[in-house]
Chain A
Amino acid sequence: MKIVDMSLVQLKDLLDRGELSSVEIVRAFRESYEEDCSSDKPINGYIEFFEDAEKTAEKSDQVRASGEYGILEGLPIAVKDNILVSGHYATCGSNILKGFKSPYSATVIERLKNEGIVPLGRTNMDEFAMGSTCEYSAYGPTRNPINREYVAGGSSGGSAAVVASGQAPCALGSETGGSVRLPASFCGLYGLKPTYGTLSRYGLVAFGSSLDQIGILSRVPDDIALILSVAAGQDANDSTSADVDFSDIFPLKRFVLKGKKFAIPKELFERGIDEEVKGAIERFSKWLEERGAIVDIVSIPLIEKSVAIYYIIAPAEASSNLSRYDGVRYGYRNTEANTLEAMYIKTRSEGFGKEVKRRIFIGNYVLSSGYYDAYYKKAMEVREMLKNELLQVLKSYDFILSPTSPVKPFKIGEKVDDPLSMYLADICTTFANLASLPALSIPVGKFSSGLPVGVQIAGKMFDESRLLRVAKLWEQEGN
């Protein structure tokens, strides 16, 4: 097996046995990246492969040789361009942050680095994580490694593409409404959005603060567990982080499906779902039932409203979160303007792309006086009601099973000018963010086109472990 095809867990094993060095690992992924760069249609997963990755790996090898080393010593990871790594640029795929070098690391990066991880580079994304295809990036679209005419999914498309193409074993992405799960399903990977609060948001550039979570993409469920075991838990710098202990989640224990109950929301199964996607769900359900699980179709009426709620709350929070990009302290500034107001207008008009501007407009609109009650306030109320409906279902069911995407992956360029239909691709994922629930996309096969298809299981708050254990069982037996 080639290094670039190995999972984190396999690489860790070889490192622990002394059969491989971190430098060799990083070099292999670098070569894979460079090879792709010189290909006909590069997938464009990395915005930057870190120059210092090999040097970090070298140091890591020395630490390992000293005998006292971290759990992740020498293991590489790719990092989405909106998660801060001290001393490195972070642009969120946007022109407005061009040249911004972060003076500090995100808490999640800090914790992983303390255990010896080697950041490989920063991955492409829809600008400020706004998009479902990874085409709205100032650095051009990311291509799907399985078929380069297709999108990798978004917004963490770069993270998904580098893992699916052997340029990284595992990657960090970010979620606001499906940005890890959707590209994971388009690229045939496992993609977890943890419970809101499981991972600290400190150092994750904010999009929709009440929805944002760092997520993890990998080729095997155990890799996600390994990263979670180190990174999860309360952070004094993030008041919304949760006091949870995931230190013994890895390695994932065997799961017994017998008697476990899965609910398929009728609203995410009957109408508007691609037939082949339905087929995937049916295959997966069959496997579950064969192992003694119970699968029911239930109604969760407000799920149908989740996209509507989401596209009020997320832009509202984004419009405020993105106000800080004003050209005053960092990032891009139009230097021709000669008044403050002109500087603001020109800087932001030139610095932001059109999808980001669209969402800032929506956000400002729904928060403006006179419209606040009708939009934002109402959306928050319905969000609470949706949460209650979901929690009610999760009282009698262990998991909620649904497609990850209601439709097949898009071709590049297919949805760029049709934002509404792109927003609807989030129908199956946003409810988990709105209700703070953990959700995992599991690769369950291929469409007739050869592109991957994924299903999603969502669980109770902080039930990441059982989600991943179901996935591991599928990985071992289902395929």
Chain B
Amino acid sequence: MPEPEIRKSAVIVETIYHEGGPVGAAPQRKAACLTVIKNPFAGKYHEDIQGFMKDLEPLGKDMAQQIIDALGGDASVVKGYGKGAIVGANGEIEHGALWHVPGGYAMRDKIAQSMAIVPSTKKLGAPGARLDVPVTHTNASYVRSHFDAMEVGLSDAPKADEILLALVMTTGPRIHERVGGLAAEDVKGEDGLR
């Protein structure tokens, strides 16, 4: 399988100062990298698709780095992450599942404290479809303050024969987090959960 054919890419950054409550010491930042690629399996059922995961690895690394760069270039600021895909109408949800491994490990390879599984979502969609990419703490999935999400999408993608791939990183908890649970400072960091 040749390398992914990229039509366009986008980087989105949000800087959140408050949400109606007190302005914190530092704003929360969320960043996403989106890449629109041709779906090599569009329009026909292919039994063997796993090889494409390997083909997506360089793209995953590049997208993860684009997000880190957008957040200032220091991967240690990243405290939450998530990933997702929107598959165009001539594809199937299974094609989006190909993004789990290359997308997730691309981020984990660049983030030192990343014991936790990367949460994900995927769906079929037309151009303009929006995806709520789930976000959790990079080192311990149960950190309640970091349960979050970022909505992403592009007005002109994915076309029917395309896949929109997404990676998301955040720099901290929800801006007014106050529902308790495991706190980031209490993480043991041994099993990826607590």
Q: Do A and B bind each other?
A: no
Q: Which residues of A contact B (CB under 8 A)?
A: none
Q: Which residues of B contact A (CB under 8 A)?
A: none
